[in-house]
Structure 1
Amino acid sequence: MATPLSATAFVDVLRAERLVVVGEPGWRDRNRNAVGPWGPVHGVMLHHTVTRGTASTVRVVRDGYAGLPGPLCHGMIAKDGQVHLVGYGRANHAGLGDPSVLRAVIAETALPGDREASVDGNRAFYGFECENLGDGVDPWPDVQLQAIEAVSAALCRAHGWGAGSVIGHLEWQPGKVDPRGFAMPWMRSRIAGLLGSGEPGPLPDPVAPMVSLSRLLAAAGSNPSMPGTPVTYDGVLVVESALVDEGLLAKKLMDGHYGSSTFPAMSAWQERCGFRGRKRGQAADGYPGWSSLTALGAKHHFTVIN
């Protein structure tokens, strides 16, 4: 448990790690302190943004979006390794999480599964969003990974924490998948190496994401006619990303739901694969099928499983 650093000390400890830190205008006073306390802090939480492009990503994490006002983190770690500070104080990044996870972070013991969401994490963690689509395909440049390690180590060093005080959003709140594309135990081993308490592991080899056809069909069949009700499934993001790259789906419509936007995009892809007809039950009806989905996976480097 620790009192949050002052804004000046915060930026100083980051720069002491030889990070390139960009203070976005007004970052020191942009927060959500009016709706709840900031601190005591217990650790650092990492996220991915599901965005592409540094300037647009900074705008999103600074300003937020409908239903979730900014700031959405304290700093955004860009693909080039620069750290953009967008707010300081309480930020809308962590949400409610598992109290047993918080106890483990405080004790720096093995993390239990995150099974409930009942403890406020926005007051308790420094939050860093990392520029990445989070689809398992978008790469994590070495310079960005090294910046993530250095940011985490800087704050751990400042508070006397070990690498066990750094967690991913997916370890805190049920249903979250971020950060996706590297393993948090591996990241903690890298941070431990910077802190001098362990040997850092090598950079991970890229792993092709796997998409379950049965889960994708379940997501597609979960009442797509009603906006906001389809099942969220991270495999949908992989498929949506491929459809975006094919020019069949607008990037802004990527949301992890197999819904009203995904169906026509998949139908168009199925027609490219030689299938015809867009009515329910026809070969190009937008419901994912083995042949068209496998063809999409072969082109965009994901694996389809039953």
Structure 2
Amino acid sequence: MATPLTADTLLAALRAEGATVIEHPGWRTHNRNHKGAWGPVNGIVIHHTVSTGSAPSVALCRDGYAGLPGPLCHGVIDKAGAVHLIGHGRTNHAGLGDGDVLDAVAAEAPLPTPRRNDTDGNAHFYGFECVNLGNGTDPWPAAQLDAIERASAALCRAHGWTAASVIGHKEWTPTKVDPRGFTMRDMRARIAARLASAPGGPGGTPVPPPPATGGYEPFPGAAFFAAAPHSPVVTAMGRRLVAEGCSAYAQGPGPQWTEADRRSYANWQRKLGFTGSDADGLPGRTSWNALKVPRSG
């Protein structure tokens, strides 16, 4: 058993493990703590969303639906390998499950087959929802499986847990089938191999988060865009927006910041799951780092 990580520690752990992290507005305080305990925590549950698309899946997990309010997990892992943080604290992801399974996870012992639903999993597990239809044929891209591995290893490393602390939802309760399309046995083997080396990328080489990697433009600051700049950075940004399917350009993109740039960037923000004033088309650090704009010089 362990005290849950603080939001700052969780974020730092994910980044130290080389995960691509997207922070969504209000994630640090978005929870269901008023409905019950959060902690002590014993492990991590992996789910599939039964949905398609990054932004719709993030919105679903953030907001929930009739009868099951959000957040429905702590992070959503999309097919591109990004970990979208949407909640911190108690979330509606695990539900009731088998107390014998919880005991086995806490002891990092072999898992029994779940047979009953007598224990509140929301109090004791972190949860990651992974974008997949869950039909057994929807593919799991390598980047997504890598992100599941990294996110799980990050929390295990932070708590001093082994890979035995990571389970699938179907291993927690007999009423669920997720995740489908890969085996948790194989995933735990991947996590164990990663935990055997230093945190970070292949071979244990630490991978700093964008924009520290040399190939990407660092965030130039909000004032840069407010001044309607003429810069090769704007061109590089526009080309990335086009590549992401967010173009609102009639021509270009070019070096001069225009209304078409703003509208294209707003499309990118909405693709990430931002809404309202958070999708106004003016770049912020989180959305900029997620865009990964190549260095222009």
TM-score by length of 1: 0.64
Residue 194 of structure 2: aligned partner: 194
> In the alignment, residue 80 of structure 1 is paired with which amino acid?
A
Residue 183 of structure 2: aligned partner: 183
Kindly state the Cα deviation for residue 174 of structure 1 after the two structures are TM-superposed: 1.2
Identity across matched positions, percent:
64
Deviation track 1:135-189 (CA, whole Å, cap 9, x = no partner) reads 0010000010000000000000000000000000000011200010001111100
Kindly state the Cα deviation for residue 48 of structure 1 after the two structures are TM-superposed: 0.1
> Does 2:14 correspond to 1:14?
yes
Residue 23 of structure 1: aligned partner: 23
> In the alignment, residue 129 of structure 1 is paired with which amino acid?
E
Deviation track 1:13-46 (CA, whole Å, cap 9, x = no partner) reads 0000111100110100100000101000000100
Residue 83 of structure 1: aligned partner: 83
Deviation track 1:111-148 (CA, whole Å, cap 9, x = no partner) reads 00100001000010000000000000100000100000
Residue 143 of structure 1: aligned partner: 143
Residue 33 of structure 1: aligned partner: 33
Q: Which has the higher contact order (CA 8 A, sep 6+)?
A: 2
- Return the alpha-carbon distance in structure 1 between the equivalents of residues 57 and 114 of structure 2: 28
Kindly state the Cα deviation for residue 80 of structure 1 after the two structures are TM-superposed: 0.2
- Return the alpha-carbon distance in structure 2 between the equivalents of residues 191 and 111 of structure 1: 17
1:157-306 alignment to 2 at 5 Å? 157-196=157-196
Residue 53 of structure 2: aligned partner: 53
Q: How many residues align?
A: 197
Kindly state the Cα deviation for residue 54 of structure 1 after the two structures are TM-superposed: 0.3
- Return the alpha-carbon distance in structure 2 between the equivalents of residues 90 and 44 of structure 1: 13
> In the alignment, residue 49 of structure 1 is paired with which amino acid?
T
- Return the alpha-carbon distance in structure 1 between the equivalents of residues 47 and 184 of structure 2: 11
> In the alignment, residue 196 of structure 2 is paired with which amino acid?
G
Which runs of 5 or more residues in structure 2 are unaligned? Answer: 198-297
Residue 5 of structure 1: aligned partner: 5
Runs of 4+ residues over 6 Å off in structure 1: none
> In the alignment, residue 38 of structure 2 is paired with which amino acid?
W
3-state DSSP class of the match of 1:192?
Answer: helix
> In the alignment, residue 151 of structure 2 is paired with which amino acid?
V
- Return the alpha-carbon distance in structure 2 between the equivalents of residues 66 and 4 of structure 1: 28
- Return the alpha-carbon distance in structure 2 between the equivalents of residues 10 and 134 of structure 1: 27
- Return the alpha-carbon distance in structure 2 between the equivalents of residues 173 and 65 of structure 1: 21
3-state DSSP class of the match of 1:115?
Answer: coil
- Return the alpha-carbon distance in structure 1 between the equivalents of residues 91 and 15 of structure 2: 21
3-state DSSP class of the match of 2:71?
Answer: coil
Which runs of 5 or more residues in structure 1 are unaligned? Answer: 198-306
RMSD: 0.7
3-state DSSP class of the match of 2:115?
Answer: coil
3-state DSSP class of the match of 1:83?
Answer: strand
